[in-house]
Amino acid sequence: MSPLLELRSVEASYGKTKALHGVSLHVHAGEVVALIGANGAGKTTTLRTISGLLGRPGGEILFDGVDISRRPPHEIVRAGIAHCPEERHVWPEMTVTEHLRVGGRMCATRREVEQRIEEMFERFPRLKERSRQLAGTLSGGEQQMLAIARALMSRPRLLLLDEPNLGLSPTLIQQVLLAIARLREQGVSVLMVEQNVHHALSAASRAYVFETGHVVAQDTAAALLGNPALLRAYLGA
């Protein structure tokens, strides 16, 4: 079976500084895949490149067999990819419901937007309780749920998830990991960046290890957890 997402020798730069050097990876439908590595290894850059935020990369980015590497971000969202960025990026003076309406901007009708908002409230009951509350008054975990729900308003087939557990308490981290597991059960593929190796490998079925813009290892999550020498070599874990 062909992958849902496939990167073939992808290169990307920030100005004259090359950040990705021939990155190749894939994600199958219904799969959770983690990108792990030290800070600055190229993980977030990979997500930004897939979602079209870094302009035109080298190599190929195939989504459902179609090269999307030259498409602008809004067309990539329409194709079925949503990006939930690092540090959530919620707007403090907007309510929960207003955030979800922004996430539903691709919907054809207002009725469709409202239907999808109800779907998000069913998926994240805490957000329904906070529907009229300003995002700036939510807890860190609630803001993360809101950021994920906002991304899911486009009904993506693939969710790019960057550091979902950053700054959260252990209890809230477990809630986020449970939400990721439920997404997989519902057929949404996830490509996630996670600094905490054990959190990443507990949520994912496979993982790629990054170092200075290169993929230096890949394996099942179980195999990587069972290879402490490799994790120490590239992550200090």
Q: Please write the tens of the pLDDT for every residue from 114-166.
A: 999 999 999 888 899 999 999 999 988 889 889 999 999 999 999 999 988 87
Compare 106 and 207 and report the one with higher pLDDT: 207
Question: Once rounded to an integer, what is the mean pLDDT over residues 74-101?
Answer: 91
Structure tokens at 201: 């490998």
**Which H or E element spans position 115?**
helix 110-123
The CATH code that applies to domain 5-89+158-235 is 3.40.50.300
User: What is the pLDDT, as a whole number, of residue 237?
Assistant: 58
Is the pLDDT assigned to residue 233 strictly greater than 90? Answer: no
196 contacts 68 by C-beta, under 8 angstroms: no
Rounded CA separation 122/213 (Å)? 39
Cβ neighbours around 232 below 10 Å, total? 10
SS3 content of the chain, % helix, strand, coil (to 5): 40, 25, 35
Q: How many residues does the chain have?
A: 237
Sheet of strand 17-27: strand arrangement:
17-27, 5-14, 58-63, 66-67
Rounded CA separation 159/103 (Å)? 13
- pLDDT tens-digit map of 159-196: 999 988 877 888 878 888 888 888 888 889 999 998 88
- State the chain's maximal CA–CA distance in angstroms: 54
Is the pLDDT assigned to residue 63 strictly greater than 70? Answer: yes
Structure tokens at 17: 């500084």
Hey, where are the domains in the chain? 5-89+158-235
State how beta strands 81-84 and 66-67 pair.
unpaired
Confidence of residue 57 (pLDDT cuts 50, 70, 90): confident
Quote the percentage of the chain above a pLDDT of 70: 99
Task: Give the 3-state secondary structure of residue 95.
Answer: strand
From 20-24, 102-106, 208-212, 232-236, the region with the lowest mean pLDDT: 232-236
Question: What's at 132, amino acid-wise?
Answer: R
Structure tokens at 87: 């540090």
Average pLDDT, the chain: 91
**Which H or E element spans position 180?**
helix 170-185
Rounded CA separation 228/236 (Å)? 9
